[in-house]
């Protein structure tokens, strides 16, 4: 890339996410790009933009280039140590806030919090809920802590490992749930594999959570899980051993995505 290139020159090229990449390289808002479209980029800006274009073309998700991603009503820092929050996961928030009133004094835990989206969004929406969150990745926990000033109890814990003796009214989780050989994985190679894959059938972690959850739930407490669109039947069977009132919810594409159950 050489010569005197303007914002407009780039905007008229057919490059993936070019508008957003320009906002990053120039530190400007999208609207500014259009009003200053004749601006000639400095060599430093060109170099930065070129690096971003290359990384994006190699498949690096935009959220890892910008370091942030919107979720529900908030913006979250993300890094390659955390999954990039998906819109499907917002369904967990809607269901959770329908279960209890925002001013109820309840205990909630988000298992495998990653960048903290579930725990932090709930803490923002429901000021009286006492919220805890776990992750087995120290790097992820660092990001989650940076994403909030709310009083959330963070545990460096693999599922329930560090929670002995604690009980909750709601356990919520978006665990890894892809099978080892899932064809999606090729397009997800920039995201942490331990946040995506869970054994041969993608159910190893969900099985562990369902088996252990009853010990950590208060009477009548709920378990709320995200899962893949092909796992609903098997998960219902696993839940039936210790749970009642099992309800499945569909995502915006009409696919089974979330399951709610109440401990027996």
Q: Which residues bind ligand GLN (CB under 6 A)?
A: 83, 86, 174-178, 188, 196
Closer of 40 and 255 to ligand GLN (Cβ): 255
Closer of 53 and 224 to ligand GLN (Cβ): 224
Closer of 65 and 258 to ligand GLN (Cβ): 258
We find the least distance from the C-beta atom of residue 231 to ligand GLN, in angstroms, to be 11
Q: Are 21 and 54 in contact (CB under 8 A)?
A: no
We find the least distance from the C-beta atom of residue 240 to ligand GLN, in angstroms, to be 23
We find the least distance from the C-beta atom of residue 31 to ligand GLN, in angstroms, to be 31
Closer of 171 and 188 to ligand GLN (Cβ): 188
Ramachandran bin of 261, using left for φ above 0, alpha for ψ from -120 to 50, beta for the remaining angles: beta
Antiparallel, parallel or unpaired: β 256-263 and 168-173: unpaired
What span, in angstroms and rounded, lies between the C-alpha atoms of 262 and 146? 32
We find the least distance from the C-beta atom of residue 129 to ligand GLN, in angstroms, to be 23
Residue of 61, 75, 56, 80 lying closest to 194 (CA atoms): 80
Q: Which two tokens stand for residue 104?
A: 């109820």
Per DSSP, the three-state class of 96 is: helix
């Amino acid at each position: 890339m050489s010569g005197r290139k303007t914002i407009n020159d780039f905007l008229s090229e057919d490059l993936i996410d070019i508008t957003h990449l320009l906002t990053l390289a120039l530190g400007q808002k999208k609207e500014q790009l259009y009003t200053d479209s004749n601006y000639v980029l400095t060599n430093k800006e060109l170099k930065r933009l070129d690096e971003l274009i290359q990384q994006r073309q190699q498949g690096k998700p935009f959220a890892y280039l910008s370091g942030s991603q919107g979720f529900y009503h908030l913006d979250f820092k993300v890094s390659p140590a955390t999954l990039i929050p998906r819109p499907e996961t917002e369904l967990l928030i809607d269901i959770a806030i329908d279960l209890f009133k925002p001013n109820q004094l309840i205990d909630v835990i988000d298992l495998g919090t990653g960048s903290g989206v579930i725990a932090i969004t709930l803490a923002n929406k429901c000021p009286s809920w006492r919220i805890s969150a776990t992750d087995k990745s120290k790097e992820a926990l660092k990001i989650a802590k940076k994403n909030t000033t709310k009083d959330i109890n963070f545990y460096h814990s693999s599922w329930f490992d560090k929670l002995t003796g604690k009980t909750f009214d709601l356990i919520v989780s978006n665990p890894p749930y892809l099978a080892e050989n899932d064809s999606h994985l090729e397009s997800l190679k920039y995201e942490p594999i331990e946040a995506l894959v869970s054994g041969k059938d993608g159910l190893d972690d969900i099985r562990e959570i369902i088996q252990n959850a009853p010990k950590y739930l208060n009477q009548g407490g709920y378990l709320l899980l995200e899962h893949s669109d092909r796992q609903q039947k098997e998960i219902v069977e696993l839940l039936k051993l210790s749970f009642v009132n099992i309800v499945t919810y569909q995502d915006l594409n009409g696919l089974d995505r979330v399951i709610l159950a109440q401990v027996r």
